[in-house]
């Protein structure tokens, strides 16, 4: 990707921040023949994470919330690979790619770091080895497969005590990911269990554990209480002010000594910046790169950072912007314009954004939303959630497929087919 005199812009990460920066540059700077723009991402698709829980709950097909990056970019080069190291002094990035993990050195003149975050288990016993997460498409598919496998296993258990671990699900974390996941899979399990004649819905136990006294603090305390009441109405056991202490073959242990017998814990209660960020000789705050209001990394001209792996100050409050998708996508667009300005010898503009609001889905036809300071709950909030996110979902094809999935969901039951990735059985024997 070198060997000429063109200015080289490299974007690391294909999440909301990285992709939207690439999309902005694709329309502008990437058309300039004196500049090359390259996006490097571990996957060749963009995942629309706000709808991830609907894949786990069998409400949406697994491919309908992902968009092929190559089909979204016309002028930006794309590289599917894993970033192994970043040398800010030499302005080089080492990337592994391909089935044989070949290495390639990518040189740059301008670098945007948008590597996102990963799940943080806080060194709690057993979590890293056994807990499930909800960060990727694979996570959603794995959770769905686990739920169905648990139902199939419980169906053959004769004793109620033997069925308990398979019919009990624990979700840890009272934020958007935890609440939407527990609401979605609770609906899925209660709809699916009727196809297992030996099982009784009363045996199902779905538990949401949160170490705070309220859930959905990002929205409002009032809506958090409403969400808690709605989940309880739908037979979700909400445990507030309780922290997970560990997870073993016996079950989930809470800080107060309570043991919940289950083989499935979904952990959504912790996020950390990409570990690669820790290797960089830059100033950090709580593990995230410190950037200024222009998203520039101090001490390294031509380097920007945004999204979950960076902390960017709100010039109106002095506090960092929250690491949400709606902020990351707008940071990506503004940062792309700042990169273009830097190449042209101009000064960029600071990132200034006030959130329009927050929303959360609570399962079938219920939700909560705070839009422009106005609290909305119930069916109206659920319609708003679906409408707004459908509009934000990239590509018309995907919007149409998701809308069709939702329409069919009104008439048909949840699909309880597992998505297995194992190869078919084979044999090698002489011919007769």
pLDDT level of residue 425 (50, 70, 90 thresholds): confident
Token pair 């520039």 is found at 296
Portion of the chain with pLDDT greater than 70, in percent? 99
C-alpha closest to that of 186 among 201, 174, 173: 201
Torsion-angle region of residue 74: left (phi > 0), alpha (psi -120 to 50) or beta? alpha
Whether residue 113 has pLDDT greater than 90:
yes
Confidence of residue 220 (pLDDT cuts 50, 70, 90): confident
Interior/surface letters 154-190, b for 16+ CB within 10 angstroms, e for the rest: beebeeeeebbbbbbbbbbbbbbbbbbbbbbbbbbbb
CB distance 262 to 168 below 8 Å: yes
Pick the CATH number of 127-269+358-409 from 3.50.50.100, 1.10.3720.10, 3.40.630.30, 3.40.50.300: 3.50.50.100
- Average pLDDT on 99-120 reads 95
Cα separations (Å) of 358 from 75, 309, 327? Answer: 34, 21, 12
Average pLDDT over residues 13-17: 96
Mean pLDDT of 205-219: 93
Query: Is the pLDDT confidence value at 232 over 60?
Result: yes
Query: What pLDDT score does 1 carry?
Result: 44
Note the pLDDT of residue 3: 52
Q: How many CB atoms within 10 Å of residue 121?
A: 19
The residue among 279 and 425 whose pLDDT is bigger is: 279
Q: What average pLDDT score do residues 254-276 get? A: 94
The mean pLDDT of 228-234, rounded to a whole number, is 95
Q: Is a pLDDT exceeding 90 seen at residue 217? A: no
Answer whether CATH 3.40.50.880 is correct for domain 7-42+81-119+272-343. Answer: no
How far is the C-alpha of 201 from the C-alpha of 193, rounded, in Å?
7
Q: What is the pLDDT of residue 61?
A: 92
Q: How much is the pLDDT for 26?
A: 97
- Provide mean pLDDT across the span 352-361: 90
User: What is the pTM (predicted TM-score) of this model?
Assistant: 0.92
Cβ neighbors of 323 (< 8 A, separation 6 or more) are 117, 271, 307, 308
State residue 270's pLDDT score.
Answer: 86
Is 82's pLDDT higher than 50? yes
Query: What are the domain boundaries of the chain?
Result: 7-42+81-119+272-343, 127-269+358-409
Q: How many Å apart are CA 36 and CA 17, to the nearest integer?
A: 19
Residue 2 has pLDDT above 60, yes or no: no
Secondary structure, 3-state, the chain: CCCCCCEEEEEECCCHHHHHHHHHHHHCHHHCCCEEEEEEECCCEEECHHHHHHHHCCCCCCCCCEEEHHHHCCCCEEEECEEEEEECCCCEEEEEECCCCEEEEEECCEEEECCCEEECCCCCCCHHHHCEECCCHHHHHHHHHHHHHHHHHHHHCCCHHHHHHHCEEEEECCCHHHHHHHHHHHHHHHHHHHHCCCCCHHHCEEEEEECCCCCCCCCCHHHHHHHHHHHHHCCEEEEECCCEEEEECCEEEECCCCEECCCCEEECCCEEECHHHHHCCCCEECCEEEECCCCEECCCCCEEECHHHEECECCCCCCECCCCHHHHHHHHHHHHHHHHHHHCCCCCCCCCCCCCEEEEECCCCCEEEEECCEEEEEHHHHHHHHHHHHHHCCCHHHHHHHHHHHHHHCCCCCCCCCCCCCCCCCCCCCCC
The residue-averaged pLDDT of 259-271 equals: 95
Q: Does the pLDDT of residue 372 top 90, yes or no? A: no
* Residue 97: predicted pLDDT: 94
Max Cα–Cα distance, the chain, nearest Å: 81
**pLDDT classification of 148: cutoffs 50, 70, 90:** very high
Instruction: Please report, rounded to a whole number, the percentage of residues in the chain having pLDDT higher than 90.
Output: 85
Same topology, domains 7-42+81-119+272-343 and 127-269+358-409? Answer is yes
Mean pLDDT of the chain, nearest integer: 94
């Amino acid at each position: 990707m070198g060997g000429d005199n063109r200015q080289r812009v490299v974007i690391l990460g294909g999440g909301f921040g990285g992709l939207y920066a690439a999309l902005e540059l694709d329309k502008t700077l990437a058309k300039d023949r004196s500049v090359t723009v390259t996006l490097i991402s571990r996957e060749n698709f963009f995942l629309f994470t706000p709808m991830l829980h609907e894949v786990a709950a069998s409400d949406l097909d697994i491919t309908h919330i992902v968009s092929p990056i190559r089909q979204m970019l016309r002028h930006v080069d794309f590289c599917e690979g894993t970033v192994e190291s970043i040398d800010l002094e030499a302005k080089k990035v080492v990337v592994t790619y391909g089935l044989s993990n070949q290495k390639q050195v990518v040189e740059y003149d301008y670098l945007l770091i948008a590597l996102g975050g990963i799940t943080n288990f806080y060194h709690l016993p057993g979590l890293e080895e056994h807990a499930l997460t909800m960060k990727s498409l694979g996570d959603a598919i794995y959770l769905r497969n686990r739920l169905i496998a648990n139902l199939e296993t419980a169906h053959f258990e004769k004793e109620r005590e033997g069925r308990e671990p398979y019919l009990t699900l624990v979700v840890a974390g009272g934020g958007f990911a935890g609440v939407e996941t527990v609401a979605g899979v609770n609906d899925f399990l209660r709809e699916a269990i009727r196809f297992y004649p030996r099982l009784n819905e009363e045996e199902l136990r779905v538990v949401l554990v949160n170490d705070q006294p309220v859930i959905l603090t990002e929205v409002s305390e009032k809506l958090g209480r409403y969400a808690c009441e709605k989940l309880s109405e739908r037979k979700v056991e909400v445990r507030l002010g309780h922290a997970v202490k560990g997870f073993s073959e016996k079950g989930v242990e809470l800080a107060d000594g309570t043991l919940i017998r289950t083989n499935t814990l979904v952990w959504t209660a912790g996020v950390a910046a990409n570990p690669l960020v820790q290797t960089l000789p830059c100033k950090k705050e709580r593990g995230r790169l410190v950037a200024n209001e222009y998203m520039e990394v101090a001490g390294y001209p031509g380097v920007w950072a945004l999204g979950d792996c960076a902390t960017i100050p709100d010039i109106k409050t002095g506090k960092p912007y929250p690491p949400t998708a709606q902020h990351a996508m707008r940071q990506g667009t503004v940062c792309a314009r700042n990169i273009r300005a830097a190449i042209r010898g101009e000064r960029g503009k600071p990132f200034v954004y006030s959130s329009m609001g927050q929303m959360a889905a609570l399962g079938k036809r219920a939700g909560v939303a705070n839009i422009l300071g106005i609290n909305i709950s119930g069916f109206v909030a659920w319609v708003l959630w679906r409408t707004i996110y459908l509009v934000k979902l990239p590509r018309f094809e995907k919007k149409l497929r998701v809308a069709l999935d939702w329409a069919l969901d009104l008439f048909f039951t949840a699909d309880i087919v597992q998505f297995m990735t194992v190869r078919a059985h084979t044999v090698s024997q002489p011919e007769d």
